[in-house]
Amino acid sequence: MVIRARVSDRTSGGARSDAQLGLDFGGDAAETPRRWGGRRPNAGRKRKNPKARPNVPHRVRPPHGRRNPVHVTMRAGRGVPRFRCQLVANLMKEVLKRQRMRAYARDFQVVHFSIQDDHLHLIVEATANVSDEEAEKALRTGVSGFAISFARRLNRRIGRSGKVWADRHHRRDVQSPTEVRNLLLYVFQNYRHHGYVTFGAGILDPYSSACRFDGWADWHVTFIEREPWPDVRPRTWLLRRGWLRGGGPLRTSEIPRAWMAADRRASRDVSLDGAMAASERSGAVSPPSSGLHGGDPIRADLVHV
């Protein structure tokens, strides 16, 4: 690489002469490797806990369509007590009732929810009749209002201070009947995904809006509330009746297919590892046949007595 510069020198007669100097560093500029800047492996600030769930990237969110329901996930930060209790359920009822009185209540509402130990699942609608831009503005305002109201009330109830949410919320628009049906099933049955086991038919999650959902195909338990929950009617066609085209009414024993596939893969891996270890101990060389597995295992949370 050669860097050239011009230096100016005046002769005794006043005439100006320019001399060009060159600095040769060896090699061509195109062949010289770049040693600073740019993307490279293991660059950037390291995470405090590499095994922890990564935060939601601070990128521009995709545009929102006013005809699409939205799945919102909000995660609690460190030091926050577990959400899955009666205190938080009563608090959720108060927050949803207060939201019905806000200025954005005509354009935003929380239709369904699920309370887990360290996060919340919300199915919301932002349906401004003017344009998608107004609906997206109502979505931002509504979710922010919910997060602030929930955090302030929770801190006041348990006598703590500081932030409640670990990171910005995650949201995703659902645009087809099949996606909406899968989302409803995912939110209502999310407690099973986190290890809660139930026995008996028709059992639903009491810390969710599943008991007030009218799209179940089979009999299910109901709870008598002293103070009723807000009566929320879906405004979008997909949440009102369009989701039925994605597979019909839900069943209380049904779980998302993605969970079943993941459990089946994990069970097969465990069975194969155990069989291989036994064969190695016995001196066998050939791997075990598929008949030793005995079929797919039965999940404990799907056993009804």
Last residue of a domain, one of 225, 246, 267: 246
Indicate if 232 and 295 belong to the same structural domain.
no
Residue 22 falls inside a structural domain: no
Structure confidence at residue 128 (pLDDT) = 82
Residue 193 falls inside a structural domain: yes
Indicate if 230 and 264 belong to the same structural domain.
no
Residue 289 above 50 pLDDT?
no
Indicate if 237 and 262 belong to the same structural domain.
no
Residue 63 falls inside a structural domain: no
Indicate if 264 and 240 belong to the same structural domain.
no
Taken in order 118, 262, 124, 232, the sign of the CA dihedral is negative
135-192 pLDDT tens trace: 999 999 999 999 999 999 999 999 999 999 998 999 999 999 999 999 999 999 998 8
Domain interval for residue 191: 70-246
Indicate if 76 and 127 belong to the same structural domain.
yes
Strand partners, 4: 22
70-75 sheet: strands from edge to edge: 108-115, 119-126, 70-75, 170-173
Structure confidence at residue 60 (pLDDT) = 84
Structure confidence at residue 27 (pLDDT) = 54
Q: Token pair of 227, please?
A: 């103070």
Indicate if 179 and 266 belong to the same structural domain.
no
Indicate if 194 and 263 belong to the same structural domain.
no
Q: Are 51 and 159 in contact (CB under 8 A)?
A: no
The pLDDT confidence band at residue 301, using thresholds 50, 70 and 90, is very low
Residue 295 falls inside a structural domain: yes
Q: Which residue has 């001196």 as its token pair?
A: 283
Coil, helix or strand at residue 227: coil
Provide the CATH number for the domain around residue 157.
3.30.70.1290
